[in-house]
């Protein structure tokens, strides 16, 4: 995959430009947009992680802010429902002192038959630095990025990707195990083929050298997935004792076309992280979930709340990751480096 | 007497076993002589065909003219103009218009629009079922009498086995082919591209090859004792080629068509959410492309068809899921067939012409009365295409005479192009002023 900055803007090969503000001597960030983790190198991701680590204390500081994006405007343009992702981006922009505006697909011009790129171009024409876009169709955020010159952050496009979720998940794993993920065994369980969270994690984790196994029913975890460089399994019991981190995806009934498995109890029997399965995990292993959880379905309540669960840390990290992403993209775009 | 002499070309007429250098003489819109050397008399018009192939007018049995209902993308007149540009003298338009071509009046409407356009001939393919809804048989007998040249619910499949059996029986009686769009619907709901690695990467819903294969296999079994002409439209995968090969070896009246894009492109073309590559059935993998080419080479697939599917720019600019299926093909087909089939040595020029003239003519019942097309037979109406097999050209916006230019082949260099198109003896295309006006 090579879809780096599909913009009409200038060259994307100006990697040798000067240092970023207050960030020492590091190569200039080259990406105007964040649409897919398939577009990022390990160095790109580490750059985001370093900056997120720098911002993390602000997220919990109650009151302190950075002024890195003071005077900048960020619009979240959500064509699909969201609660936490939108809030997380808004919080991130706020902590960078950017102005934040929100536009939802419903009730806006989108329901009158305007194309999504016309909507985006209109928003941009009001003087916007970054668009945070969610849409229920794969590739929709790229379509918007192809039409605007401000930065675009993909906040979830259909079944394709949710790159900031992937970054915050990987950041959480790094915070726990240290920065070297080579050889770490990360297991993702659930509806993989329809999951944008899974795809982003797979791209990011494999780029960083982790071993990824995806587990779920064959209707949702087809053998075709091996083309992404992962191991496909339908047997969680045989794997659970060998994990470093296990990521339980939400069973997304609203996104499942037809009947993807016989029943919730049958799904639980094979693919839920039950208390019994959690006990068989190695002591050092952590439990993750991108939320929102179906407690008692894909994950037992006590597992979700157990000390080995890092689920709420994921949420906190999400704000820091989004701060890092917004800052890198907007500043690179302003300086014409993207 | 008004005479046109197409002079000095390589005359290829597969149905009559002709392949020799000579002249084709047209008088009063009909072939007066074919082959040999004609003396140029006073007042005769001469078209210089030296270095060119002279063959029966090309026939495309599968186009979408979009009229009525989709006139922003194409009309019967603009489709007929696109056909002439690509060297086609006859095209057969699918009934998935709005409303559908599902009764005799709409069949006659196509003939009327075609006649008024005065470009290529446009023949109507009628719907198999009322409104193409798959539940009730349309008036196929009355449509046949009105001039429908075949039947299809193209764009969708005749899904019900019960309806299919009725349709096969009825069409066998009225002697028309049933052209099936082979797509098992429950395996392809919301599908927008081939089921495979690229769909996994892009997060798009896959359309598995088996959804095509199960319909072909079923239909061949249903038709075994009925014996209707059964035609597989736009073959897209290796398994379908195998099924058609076996049925033909078994003596079943089964034919199949291949389209330029399925002979040249794979699912990789969809990367980056390229809606120009969104087509139904979808572009598949290299093994499928190779199998379809092999099917052409060994005579399993006997017909070439563009599935010319114009769409307005605005619609192809949408999200991949929202953009319509299909690509235009009439103006680019010849050069692309040459690239896929002749240049690699899979077939020669006479075979290519057979697959673009007499074979589709037989499928669509155009060879016999009243149309008598697909050959260079003396006395018949003179539809002729002159092809320069050496002309190299680039596919770009400027080549499109039709209303739409949605093609994934933009920028491709191809060799082989129609330089003269004659319908009923009248010059419709004289690309380089070789004479004949």
CATH no. for residue B407? 2.30.40.10
Contacts of A163 in chain B (CB under 8 A): none
Q: Which residue from A135, A160, A225 is facing B202, i.e. has the nearest CB?
A: A160
Task: Tell me whether residues B200 and A137 touch, CB distance under 8 A.
Answer: no
* Whether pLDDT at A4 is above 60: no
Compute the count of residue pairs across chains A and B with CB atoms less than 8 Å apart. 69
Mean pLDDT of chain B: 97
Task: Give catalytic residue positions of B.
Answer: 307
Instruction: Choose one of B363, B388, B411: the last residue of a domain.
Output: B363
Q: Which residue from B190, B206, B273 is facing A139, i.e. has the nearest CB?
A: B273
User: Is the residue at B346 inside a domain?
Assistant: yes
Q: Per residue in B18-67, pLDDT tens? A: 999 999 999 999 999 999 999 999 999 999 999 999 999 999 999 999 99
Provide the token pair at A161. Answer: 């990707």
Do both B19 and B67 map to the same domain? no
Task: Tell me whether residues A228 and B200 touch, CB distance under 8 A.
Answer: yes
Q: Phi and psi of A46, rounded to 5°?
A: -65, -35
Do both B220 and B289 map to the same domain? yes
pLDDT, residue A110, reads 55
Those residues of chain B whose CB sits closer than 8 Å to some CB in chain A are 189-190, 195-197, 199-206, 271-273, 314, 317-322
* Nearest CA-CA distance, residue B381 and chain A, Å: 49
Domain limits at B8?
3-54+380-430
pLDDT, residue A24, reads 47
**Alpha-carbon dihedral B369, B373, B374, B377, rounded to 10 degrees:** 80
Do both B39 and B151 map to the same domain? no
Do both B280 and B407 map to the same domain? no
CATH number reported for the structural domain that contains residue B306 in this entry:
3.20.20.140
Provide the token pair at B375. Answer: 């050959």
β-partners of residue B257 are B303
User: Is the residue at B105 inside a domain?
Assistant: yes
Those residues whose C-beta lies under 8 Å from the C-beta of residue B63, and which sit 6 or more positions away, are: B79, B83, B91, B92, B93, B94, B306, B307, B308, B329, B330
Q: Which residue from B203, B314, B317 is facing A138, i.e. has the nearest CB?
A: B203
Do both B232 and B326 map to the same domain? yes
Do both B130 and B268 map to the same domain? yes
pLDDT, residue A336, reads 76
- Model pTM score: 0.93
User: Is the residue at B165 inside a domain?
Assistant: yes
Do both B323 and B177 map to the same domain? yes
Contacts of B200 in chain A (CB under 8 A): 193, 222, 224-225, 227-228
Q: Residue B398: which pLDDT band, with cuts at 50, 70 and 90?
A: confident
pLDDT, residue A112, reads 58
pLDDT, residue A113, reads 79
Task: Tell me whether residues A138 and B271 touch, CB distance under 8 A.
Answer: no
Instruction: Choose one of B318, B334, B363: the last residue of a domain.
Output: B363
User: Is the residue at B370 inside a domain?
Assistant: no
* Nearest CA-CA distance, residue B317 and chain A, Å: 9
* Nearest CA-CA distance, residue B320 and chain A, Å: 7
Total tally of structural domains belonging to chain B: 2
* Whether pLDDT at B154 is above 70: yes
User: Is the residue at B149 inside a domain?
Assistant: yes
Do both B74 and B102 map to the same domain? yes
C-alpha neighbours within 13 Å on the C-beta side of residue B117: 29
pLDDT, residue A28, reads 78
pLDDT, residue A333, reads 85
Provide the token pair at B125. Answer: 């393919």
User: Is the residue at B372 inside a domain?
Assistant: no
Q: Residue A63: which pLDDT band, with cuts at 50, 70 and 90?
A: confident
Contacts of A194 in chain B (CB under 8 A): 203
Task: Tell me whether residues B321 and A137 touch, CB distance under 8 A.
Answer: yes
Closest chain A residue to the Cα of B194, Cα to Cα: A224
User: Is the residue at B435 inside a domain?
Assistant: no
Task: Tell me whether residues B320 and A139 touch, CB distance under 8 A.
Answer: yes
Instruction: Choose one of B313, B338, B363: the last residue of a domain.
Output: B363
Mean pLDDT of chain A: 89
Task: Tell me whether residues A138 and B204 touch, CB distance under 8 A.
Answer: yes
* Nearest CA-CA distance, residue B211 and chain A, Å: 16
Q: Residue B343: which pLDDT band, with cuts at 50, 70 and 90?
A: very high
Task: Tell me whether residues A115 and B201 touch, CB distance under 8 A.
Answer: no
pLDDT, residue A15, reads 35
Q: Mean pLDDT over residues B238-250, rounded?
A: 98
* Whether pLDDT at B355 is above 80: yes
Contacts of A110 in chain B (CB under 8 A): none
Q: Residue A9: which pLDDT band, with cuts at 50, 70 and 90?
A: very low
Do both B28 and B112 map to the same domain? no
Contacts of A158 in chain B (CB under 8 A): 203-204, 321
* Whether pLDDT at A106 is above 80: no
pLDDT, residue B290, reads 98
User: Is the residue at B138 inside a domain?
Assistant: yes
Task: Tell me whether residues B273 and A38 touch, CB distance under 8 A.
Answer: no
**Alpha-carbon dihedral B243, B246, B250, B252, rounded to 10 degrees:** 30
| Exposed e or buried b per residue across A288-314, where buried means at least 16 C-beta atoms within 10 angstroms of its C-beta | bbbbeeeeebbbbeebbeeebbbbebb
Q: Per residue in A110-139, pLDDT tens? A: 555 788 999 999 999 999 999 999 999 999
Q: What single string gives the DSSP state of each residue in B226-292?
A: T---EEE-S--SHHHHHHHHHHHHTT--EEEEE-HHHHH--GGGGTTT-GGG--SSPP--HHHHHHH
Q: Per residue in A215-238, pLDDT tens? A: 999 999 988 999 999 999 999 999
Q: Per residue in B118-151, pLDDT tens? A: 999 999 999 999 999 999 999 999 999 999 999 9
ipTM score of complex: 0.89
Rounded CA separation B317/A142 (Å): 12
Q: Mean pLDDT over residues A311-318, rounded?
A: 97
pLDDT, residue A251, reads 86
Decide if A259 contacts A212 (C-beta within 8 A).
no
* Whether pLDDT at A25 is above 90: no
Closest CA to B229 of B267, B162, B175: B175
Domains and CATH numbers, chain A: 42-161+316-331 (3.40.50.1370), 163-251+260-310 (3.40.50.1370)
* Nearest CA-CA distance, residue B301 and chain A, Å: 30
Do both B302 and B410 map to the same domain? no
Do both B350 and B422 map to the same domain? no
Do both B207 and B298 map to the same domain? yes
Q: What single string gives the DSSP state of each residue in A196-255?
A: HHHHHHHHHHHHTT-EEEEES-TTTS-GGGGGGT-EEES-GGGTGGG-SEEEEPP--GGG
């Amino acid at each position: 995959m090579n879809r780096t900055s599909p913009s009409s803007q200038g060259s994307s090969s100006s990697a040798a430009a000067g240092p970023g503000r207050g960030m020492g001597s590091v190569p200039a960030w080259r990406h105007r947009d964040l649409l897919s983790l398939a577009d990022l190198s390990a160095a790109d991701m580490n750059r985001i992680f370093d900056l997120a680590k720098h911002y993390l204390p602000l997220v919990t500081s109650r009151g302190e802010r950075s002024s890195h994006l003071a005077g900048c405007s960020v619009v979240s343009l959500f064509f699909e429902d969201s609660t936490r992702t939108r809030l997380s981006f808004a919080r991130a922009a706020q902590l960078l002192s950017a102005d934040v505006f929100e536009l939802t697909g419903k009730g806006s011009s989108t329901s009158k038959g305007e194309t999504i790129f016309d909507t985006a171009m209109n928003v941009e024409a009001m003087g916007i630095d970054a668009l945070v876009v969610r849409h229920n169709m794969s590739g929709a955020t790229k379509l918007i990025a192809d039409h605007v010159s401000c930065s675009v952050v993909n906040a979830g496009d259909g079944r394709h990707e949710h790159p900031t979720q992937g970054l915050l998940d990987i950041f959480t794993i790094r915070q726990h195990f240290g920065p070297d993920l080579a050889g770490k065994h990360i297991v993702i369980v659930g509806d993989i083929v329809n999951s944008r969270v899974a795809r982003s994690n797979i791209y990011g984790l494999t780029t960083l050298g982790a071993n990824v196994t995806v587990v779920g029913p064959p209707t949702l975890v087809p053998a075709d997935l091996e083309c992404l460089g992962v191991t496909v399994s339908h047997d969680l019991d045989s794997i659970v004792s060998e994990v470093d981190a296990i990521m339980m995806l939400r069973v997304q009934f609203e996104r499942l076309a037809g009947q993807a498995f016989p029943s919730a109890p049958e799904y639980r029997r094979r693919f839920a992280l039950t208390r019994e399965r959690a006990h068989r995990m190695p002591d050092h292993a952590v439990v993750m979930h991108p939320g929102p959880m179906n407690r008692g379905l894909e994950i037992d309540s006590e597992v979700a709340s157990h000390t080995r669960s890092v689920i709420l840390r994921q949420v906190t990290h999400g704000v820091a990751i989004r701060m890092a992403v917004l800052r890198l993209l907007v500043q690179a775009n302003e300086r014409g480096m993207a | 007497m008004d005479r046109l002499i197409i002079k000095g070309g390589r005359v290829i007429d597969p149905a009559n076993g002709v392949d020799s250098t000579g002249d084709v003489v047209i008088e009063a819109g009909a072939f007066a002589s074919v082959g040999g050397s004609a003396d140029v008399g006073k007042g005769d018009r001469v078209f210089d065909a030296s270095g060119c192939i002279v063959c029966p007018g090309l026939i495309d049995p599968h186009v979408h003219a979009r009229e009525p209902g989709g006139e922003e993308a194409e009309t019967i007149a603009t489709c007929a103009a696109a056909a002439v540009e690509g060297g086609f003298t006859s095209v057969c338009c699918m009934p998935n218009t709005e409303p559908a071509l599902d009764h005799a009046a709409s069949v006659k409407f196509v003939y009327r629009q075609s006649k008024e356009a005065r470009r290529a001939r446009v023949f109507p393919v009628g719907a198999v079922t009322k409104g193409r809804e798959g539940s009730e048989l349309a008036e196929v007998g009355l449509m046949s009498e009105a001039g429908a040249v075949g039947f299809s619910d193209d764009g969708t499949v005749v899904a019900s086995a019960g309806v299919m059996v009725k349709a096969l029986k009825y069409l066998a009686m009225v002697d028309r082919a049933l052209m099936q769009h082979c797509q098992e619907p429950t395996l392809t709901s919301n599908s927008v591209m081939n089921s495979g690695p690229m769909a996994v990467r892009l997060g798009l819903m896959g359309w598995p090859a088996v959804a095509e294969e199960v319909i072909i296999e079923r239909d061949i079994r249903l038709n075994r004792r009925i014996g209707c002409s059964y035609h597989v439209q736009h073959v897209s995968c290796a398994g379908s080629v195998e099924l058609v090969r076996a049925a033909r070896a078994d003596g079943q009246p089964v034919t199949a068509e291949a389209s330029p894009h399925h002979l040249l492109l794979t699912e990789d073309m969809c990367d980056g959410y390229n809606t120009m590559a969104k087509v139904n059935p979808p572009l598949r993998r290299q093994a499928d492309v190779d199998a379809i080419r092999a099917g052409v080479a060994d005579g399993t697939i006997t017909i070439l068809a563009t599935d010319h599917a114009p769409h307005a720019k605005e619609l192809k600019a949408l999200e991949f899921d929202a953009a319509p299926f299909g690509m235009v093909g009439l103006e680019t087909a010849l050069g692309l067939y040459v690239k896929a089939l002749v240049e690699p040595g899979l077939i020669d020029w006479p075979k290519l012409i057979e697959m673009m003239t007499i074979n589709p003519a037989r499928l669509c019942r155009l060879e016999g009365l009243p149309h008598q097309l697909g050959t260079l037979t003396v006395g018949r109406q003179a539809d002729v295409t002159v092809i320069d097999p050496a002309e190299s050209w680039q596919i770009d916006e400027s080549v499109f005479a039709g209303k739409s230019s949605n093609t994934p082949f933009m920028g491709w260099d191809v060799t082989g192009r129609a330089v003269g198109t004659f319908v009923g003896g009248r010059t419709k295309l004289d690309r380089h002023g070789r004479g004949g006006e």
